[in-house]
Amino acid sequence: MLISLDWLKQYVDIKENIKELDNALTMIGQEVEAIDIQGKDLERVVIGEIVEYDRHPNSDRLTLLKVNVGEAEPIQIVCGAPNHKLGDKVVVARIGAVLPGNFKIKKSKIRDVESFGMLCSEVELGLGENGDGIIILPQDAPVGEEYRKYAGLDDVIFELEITPNRPDCLSHIGIAREIAAYYGRKVKYPVANFTETIESTTKFAKVNIEDKERCKRYMGRVITNVKVGESPEWLKKRIRAMGMHPINNIVDITNFVMFEYNQPMHAFDLDKVKNGSVVVRAAKPGEKIITLDGVERELNNEELVIADEERPIAIAGIIGGVESEITAETKNIFLEVAYFEPSNIRKTARRLGIITESSYRNERGMDIEGIEEASERAVALIAEIAGGEVLDGAIDRYIEKPKKCEIPLSFEKLNKFVGKELPEDVVGKILSNLGFGIKTLSQDTLVVIPPVYRGDLTRTADIYEEIIRMYGFDNIEAIMPVEDIRAGLREASVELADDARKIIREVGLQEVVNYSFIPSNVVDILNIKDPVIPISNPLSEDMAILRPTLIWSLLANIRDNINRNQFDLRLAEVSRVFTPADELANEELRICIGLAGRPERTLWNPKPESYDFYTIKGYVEKVMEYLGVTKYRLSRTENPNFHPGRSAEISIGNEVVGVFGEIHPDVQEKMDIKRERVYIAELDLAKLDKYRKKTIKYERIVKYPEVTRDLAIVLDRDVLVGDMVESIKKISSLIEKVDIFDVYEGDKIDSGKKSVAISIVLRDKEKTLDEKQINDVVEKVLNMIAKEYKGEIRK
């Protein structure tokens, strides 16, 4: 946003120099990106008068002049321009001047005649596009005066970085309000004076808002018998200062008020509006409009347009149409000032690829209450400059008035937030200077009512920020707070997740981190029957839902690694899964382990075997042990994602806390995982946390020896060996550990049978076991196996 210092001074008294003002703007949050001192390239450029006029002796096209520049003797200049005569007041670049483009003026010889300067055109001074002739000034122009001072080119232009939440600062009055509040001064608002005729506006124009969702207010006024022409010099100067070219007095006035009030507006040639009927509506599919930039645009997305009875005449809030534009022949105008829904302006401007000063402001949100004031200011200027007649009354369609926000402010909380006790009268003055309404709620609390144009203020913290930036950050001393600093306890779920991550690293697994978003087709791949949570605005199809399981992510990791010829895969992830809930979502912390391939071949392991069911089982048991969960049961699972004969679920009591095993071939095929079997385990950490032994007790090393007995038991093939092992452990307190070290099925035993070799470790912590104790325990084990599992010693 460009701000002219000369223009700004019309609304607020500014006594500070450029550096001080730069600092003040930055301190109140309006960061200055650049400062352009106009006229800095016009040093030694002065006003002169042609006092002698002759033809160049060696050229028919050149003139030889004597020019009075306010010194004792006139200077000699050779000129090639066609538009000057004796007595003209001109602009002279004297020797030593450096014009825009680093063009240095030196003493020179032109066709053997010396020249001591140059008469300048607009192009040479960087002030315009007219290079056909030199600048001719009025006869009252003072000879010898600096041209930049005479032409008002000694302005300073500040380029400000206005944040998106402060559209009110995209104008000179907006910045004037900020400066006035900071320095405690008054804002001098412009006065709009004009006389209305007895004829009513509604006689010549009518307004109908069909799309009331995207247009909350529309005001129109009619000015007749205007004289469209060139703008006065002061107005052109203001427009140029904003980086724009003057067009004509009507258009320049609408732009001037936009930069003054931050209120875009548009003037239509009323005689080109069919029956003076203005309709705010959605565009019809296939409608076309030639916009002011000369481009024909087809409207297909129900863009908001301003139309008459036949066709669209403007794209609302963005750009006008050629068919209703102001021209030199325009006599009667319809002035539009409106509030359009910002999100609609933003979408339409991006889709059509049109970014204008109007769209830039409308998409950030206007001051809906300030529409009338801006309209009257523009009408007054049109009546003054273009000589128009203002018809009686305005057409004002006000659909929805904004609700004023009331924000409580506690002095005690404010002072605690700031870190300094601010006097109540100082706080009250700051709020009043900012234009806030104030009501007393209690002795310590105020109710603050921001003006409508401050839509960014909605909560108490916003008011704190306003007070601090106006009080001055440099006025708040840097004092270290005195706090009773103690280490706080970590949240239980965070501690559990950290413990799990530490465990997977300690058991030799590689931790992976995946996105919580997964493709929607995972529901079919993993046979998920429960509802999932879709993402309303997914970044891509691969991130369409929140994952209800970690299994797909580990399978995708394994697939991608195998495709890159990595075959020693021992991966694990600790993260959350998500399921629908009444308000937000249920988040469950889980650990997932994935195995595939075989260990790397080494000198001591030249023919490594592939990972199998017992490998994943070992990792699960080790993780459970490290977590402190010792009592659990393994049983066959019917989970359709796992191989039915090579998988198990983990239960504690009646609660299933996890599942592990070989992934079903159908799932592998859908995941496009080839060549390797994949083993996955997924454990619910939140459920496991309930059964953890969180207190670690030291147990001294037992000095008495262990005794091992190996048994080969023949069982029916369908007997679950895990259940049998659990039963063996319960027989005697002397049984320390039970391991399975072989399972055999073949021609050396009966069909339908299997041989299970188990190793039983016995130990008494108080004394050495004798043979009788050992034999008693073994006999009890064999009896229990025979009775409950129909097993017998293999002969």
* Helix, strand or coil, per DSSP, at residue 552: helix
Residue count (the chain): 795
**Dist CA 57 CA 546 (whole Å):** 89
Beta strand 206-209 pairing with 277-282: parallel
First to last CA, the chain: 96
Domain spans of the chain? 2-38+155-183, 45-150, 196-398, 407-475, 492-689, 707-793
3-state secondary structure 279-321: EEEECCCCEEEEECCCCEEEECCCCEEEECCCCEEEECCCEEE
Q: Do domains 2-38+155-183 and 407-475 have the same CATH topology?
A: yes
**Dist CA 20 CA 309 (whole Å):** 55
Q: Please give the helix or strand (H or E) that residue 760 lies within, else none.
A: strand 753-762
**Dist CA 402 CA 337 (whole Å):** 17
CB 526 within 8 A of CB 663: no
Q: Structure pTM?
A: 0.61
Q: Tell me the torsion sign for CA atoms 753, 754, 757, 763.
A: negative
Among the listed residues 483, 499, 167, the one whose alpha carbon sits nearest the alpha carbon of residue 345: 167
* Helix, strand or coil, per DSSP, at residue 653: coil
Buried b (16+ CB within 10 A) or exposed e, 86-110: eebbbbbbbeebbbeeeeebeeeeb
Among the listed residues 4, 6, 7, 244, the one whose alpha carbon sits nearest the alpha carbon of residue 128: 244
**Dist CA 269 CA 254 (whole Å):** 14
Q: Which CATH architecture has domain 2-38+155-183?
A: 2-Layer Sandwich (3.30)
Annotated binding site for Mg(2+): 456, 462, 465-466
Q: What is the pLDDT of residues 256-273, one digit of tens each?
A: 999 999 999 999 999 999
Res 481: pLDDT: 66
* Helix, strand or coil, per DSSP, at residue 33: strand
CB 30 within 8 A of CB 45: no
CB 268 within 8 A of CB 226: no
State the Cα angle at 35 between 33 and 37, rounded to 5°.
165
Candidate CATH numbers 3.40.1190.20, 3.30.420.40, 3.30.930.10, 3.40.50.1100; the one for domain 492-689:
3.30.930.10
Burial bucket for residue 755 (CB in 10 Å: 0-12, 13-18, 19+):
middle
Task: Give how far Cα 789 sits from Cα of 152, 256, 508, 739, Å.
Answer: 107, 97, 37, 18
Spans of the chain below 70 pLDDT:
481-484
3-state secondary structure 172-229: HHHHHHHHHHHHCCCCCCCCCCCCEEEEEHHHCCEEEECCCCCEEEEEEEEEECCCCC
Residues 6+ apart with CB under 8 A from 48: 67, 68, 69, 70, 89, 90, 91, 92, 119, 143, 144
Beta strand 63-68 pairing with 45-55: antiparallel
List 208's β-bridge partners, or say none.
279
List 171's β-bridge partners, or say none.
none
Candidate CATH numbers 3.40.50.300, 3.20.20.70, 3.30.70.380, 3.40.30.10; the one for domain 707-793:
3.30.70.380
Structure tokens at 60: 């028919």
CB 691 within 8 A of CB 633: no
**Dist CA 187 CA 176 (whole Å):** 7
**Dist CA 255 CA 235 (whole Å):** 10
Res 707: pLDDT: 94
CB 184 within 8 A of CB 19: no
Res 124: pLDDT: 87
How far does CA 4 lie from the centroid of its chain? Answer: 30
* Helix, strand or coil, per DSSP, at residue 666: helix
**Dist CA 594 CA 615 (whole Å):** 11
Q: Which residue reads 């069982």 in tokens?
A: 715
Residues 6+ apart with CB under 8 A from 720: 635, 636
Among the listed residues 177, 167, 273, 259, the one whose alpha carbon sits nearest the alpha carbon of residue 220: 273
CATH topology of domain 407-475: Phenylalanyl-tRNA Synthetase; Chain B, domain 1 (3.30.56)
State the Cα angle at 782 between 776 and 783, rounded to 5°.
90
The strand order across the sheet containing 319-320 reads 206-209, 277-282, 304-307, 312-315, 319-320
* Helix, strand or coil, per DSSP, at residue 452: coil
Annotated binding site: 456, 462, 465-466
**Dist CA 622 CA 611 (whole Å):** 16
CATH topology of domain 196-398: Phenylalanyl-tRNA Synthetase; Chain B, domain 3 (3.50.40)
Among the listed residues 266, 393, 269, 275, the one whose alpha carbon sits nearest the alpha carbon of residue 340: 266
Integer-rounded Cα Rg, in Å, for the chain is: 43
CB 88 within 8 A of CB 135: no
Q: Which residue reads 């889980």 in tokens?
A: 590
* Helix, strand or coil, per DSSP, at residue 518: strand
CB 330 within 8 A of CB 250: yes
CATH topology of domain 45-150: OB fold (Dihydrolipoamide Acetyltransferase, E2P) (2.40.50)
